[in-house]
C-alpha cells in the first residue's frame, strides 16, 4: 500500500510500526472513540473524552522520542490541528449569535405559521423548508436550537403533537446541512482536508439535496395526512400571532443580514482570492462586531467552546492513530473489502459512512475516516478523487439521521424536547430517522454512481 500523509505527520505504514506501539496507540484511539460514542451511558462529556484522549496521544505516541516524536507536539498543535475548521466554526458561531439577538428566527417561524393559514401540514412544510435552508447557510445545530422553541409555541396553538414537528425538523436540518460546505460539521472537515471549496459543494451536492428534500417532504405529508386536525378557533389563534414583535433590534438585523450576505459571497469567491473559508468567517465576524459595536465578552459567550475543544482533541487523537499505524491498517482492510471496482468502492464507502455515522456520531466518524478515504481514492488512478469525498459527505451527513446520537442537531432537538416535558425516546426517533436515513442513502447510491462515471478519467 502506498503511504498517505496527513498534514504535519510523517507518513507511516503498518510494516514500519512496532507491535507494542501500534497496540498502545490503537487502544487509546479506540477507547477514546468508545467514550465519545457512549457518552450518555458513561456520563462523561465527549469533549472531556476527546481532550483526555488527545493528552494520552501526545504523551505516549506523538511525543515519544524513540519514534521520532521530538517536535511532534508542535506539529500537532500548529499544523495537524486544522485551524481552518476551528476558525470557520468560531466565526460562524459569532455571526449567528449576534443574528440571534435580532429575533429574526422567531419572526420566520411565526411567518411560516401564518403563511400556512394555520393548516398543520402546510405549516410543517414551510417550517421544514426554512429549517433546511437556514441549516445550509448557517449551520444545522444553531438552526434547530433557534427554531425548536418557537415550534413548541406553534404546535401548542394548533394543539398538535410537538414531536410531529420536532423530529422532522431535525431530519430536515441534517438533509439541508448536507448541501453546503458550512452546513454540517462533517462537510467542514471534508472540505478543508480534501481542498473542496464552497462552490464545489453548491455545484455537486446542492442539486441532489434539493431533490431529496422535496421527496422527503412529499412522503412525510402523505404519511401524516389526516393525523392532525385543528379547529377554526385554533387556526385563528395562530393568525393572531404578531411576527413584528419578534424583531427586537431592526438596526442590528439590517447590519447582520448585510454581513451574512457578504460572508456568503466571500465563501463563493474564496477560491478566487485564495482565502481559506476560516479566514472569511472570522473576517465576517470581526466586521460585524466592529459595525455593531457589540459587547465582545457577551458575543463570545455564545461561542460553543466545548464544540471547538472537541474538534481540537479529535484532530490530535486521529493524528495519533495515524502515527501508530492504525489508520493505515483500516485503509488496507477497507480496500480489500471494497475490491477493484470504483463503483462498488464508492457505494460501499457511502453505506459504511452512513451506518457508522449513525451509530457513533457523524463528526467523530468523519475525522477518523478522512485519511482512509484518501487512501481508497488513491487506489483508483482512473477515477478522480472527488466522488469518494462526496460519498463520505453524503454518507456521514445523511446517515446522521439514523439515530438520536448520529448528529448533534438530533441531540439538540431531543434535549430541548425533554426540557419542555416531551421527551423523545431512542425508539421514537429511529421510527422516523431510520427510514429517512436508509431511503436517503439508497437515492444517494445512484447519484454516487453517476459521480463516479462523470469522474472517470478517459
| Digit-coded pLDDT (tens) for 26-36 | 999 999 988 98
Report whether pLDDT(74) > 60: no
- Output the pTM of the full model: 0.84
* DSSP H helical ranges for 80-196: 83-100, 104-115, 120-137, 140-158, 163-177, 185-194
* pLDDT for residue 457: 64
Report whether pLDDT(11) > 70: no
Q: Produce one character per residue of 292-310: b if its CB has 16 or more CB atoms within 10 Å, e if not.
A: bebeeeebeebbbeebbbb
Q: What is the mean pLDDT of residues 261-284?
A: 86
Q: Exposure of 1 by Cβ count < 10 A (0-12 exposed, 13-18 middle, 19+ buried)?
A: middle
| 68: region left, alpha or beta (phi > 0 left; psi from -120 to 50 alpha) | left
Indicate if the alpha-carbon torsion angle 86, 89, 95, 99 is positive or negative.
negative
Reduced to 3 states (helix: H, G, I; strand: E, B; else coil), residue 213 is helix
Distance of CA 205 to the CA centre of its chain: 14
Whole-angstrom Cα distance, residue 321 to residue 31? 12
Q: What is the pLDDT of residues 198-211, one digit of tens each?
A: 999 999 999 999 99
Q: What is the mean pLDDT of residues 48-65?
A: 85
Amino acid at each position: 500500500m502506498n503511504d498517505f500523509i496527513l498534514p504535519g505527520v510523517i507518513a507511516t505504514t503498518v510494516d514500519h510500526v512496532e507491535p507494542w506501539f501500534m497496540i498502545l496507540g490503537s487502544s487509546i484511539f479506540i477507547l477514546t472513540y468508545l467514550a465519545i460514542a457512549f457518552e450518555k451511558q458513561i456520563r462523561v462529556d465527549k469533549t472531556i473524552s476527546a481532550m483526555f484522549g488527545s493528552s494520552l496521544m501526545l504523551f505516549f505516541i506523538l511525543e515519544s522520542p524513540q519514534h521520532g516524536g521530538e517536535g511532534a507536539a508542535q506539529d500537532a498543535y500548529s499544523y495537524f490541528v486544522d485551524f481552518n475548521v476551528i476558525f470557520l466554526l468560531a466565526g460562524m458561531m459569532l455571526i449567528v449569535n449576534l443574528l440571534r439577538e435580532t429575533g429574526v428566527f422567531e419572526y420566520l417561524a411565526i411567518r411560516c405559521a401564518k403563511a400556512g393559514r394555520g393548516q398543520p401540514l402546510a405549516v410543517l412544510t414551510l417550517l421544514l423548508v426554512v429549517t433546511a435552508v437556514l441549516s445550509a447557510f448557517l449551520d444545522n445545530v444553531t438552526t434547530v436550537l433557534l427554531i425548536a422553541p418557537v415550534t413548541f409555541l406553534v404546535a401548542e396553538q394548533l394543539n398538535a403533537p410537538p414531536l410531529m414537528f420536532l423530529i422532522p425538523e431535525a431530519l430536515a436540518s441534517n438533509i439541508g446541512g448536507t448541501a453546503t460546505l458550512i452546513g454540517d460539521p462533517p462537510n467542514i472537515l471534508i472540505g478543508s482536508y480534501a481542498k473542496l471549496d464552497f462552490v464545489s459543494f453548491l455545484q455537486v451536492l446542492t442539486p441532489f439535496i434539493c431533490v431529496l428534500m422535496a421527496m422527503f417532504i412529499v412522503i412525510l405529508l402523505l404519511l401524516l395526512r389526516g393525523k392532525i386536525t385543528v379547529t377554526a378557533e385554533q387556526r385563528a389563534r395562530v393568525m393572531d400571532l404578531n411576527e413584528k414583535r419578534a424583531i427586537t433590534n431592526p438596526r442590528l438585523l439590517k447590519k447582520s443580514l448585510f454581513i451574512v450576505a457578504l460572508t456568503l459571497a466571500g465563501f463563493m469567491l474564496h477560491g478566487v482570492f485564495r482565502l481559506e473559508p476560516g479566514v472569511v468567517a472570522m473576517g465576517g465576524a470581526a466586521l460585524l462586531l466592529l459595525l455593531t459595536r457589540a459587547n465582545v465578552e457577551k458575543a463570545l459567550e455564545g461561542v460553543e467552546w466545548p464544540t471547538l475543544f472537541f474538534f481540537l482533541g479529535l484532530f490530535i487523537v486521529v493524528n495519533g492513530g495515524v502515527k501508530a499505524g492504525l489508520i493505515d491498517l483500516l485503509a488496507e482492510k477497507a480496500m480489500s473489502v471494497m475490491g477493484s471496482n470504483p463503483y462498488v468502492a464508492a457505494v460501499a464507502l457511502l453505506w459504511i459512512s452512513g451506518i457508522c455515522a449513525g451509530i457513533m456520531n457523524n463528526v467523530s466518524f468523519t475525522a477518523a475516516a478522512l485519511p482512509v478515504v484518501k487512501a481508497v481514492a488513491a487506489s483508483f488512478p482512473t477515477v478522480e478523487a472527488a466522488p469518494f469525498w462526496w460519498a463520505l459527505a453524503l454518507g456521514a451527513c445523511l446517515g446522521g439521521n439514523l439515530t438520536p446520537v448520529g448528529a448533534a442537531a438530533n441531540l439538540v432537538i431531543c434535549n430541548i424536547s425533554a426540557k419542555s416535558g416531551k421527551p423523545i425516546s431512542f425508539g421514537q426517533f429511529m421510527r422516523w430517522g431510520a427510514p429517512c436515513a436508509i431511503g436517503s442513502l439508497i437515492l444517494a447510491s445512484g447519484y454516487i454512481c453517476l459521480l463516479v462515471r462523470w469522474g472517470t478519467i478517459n
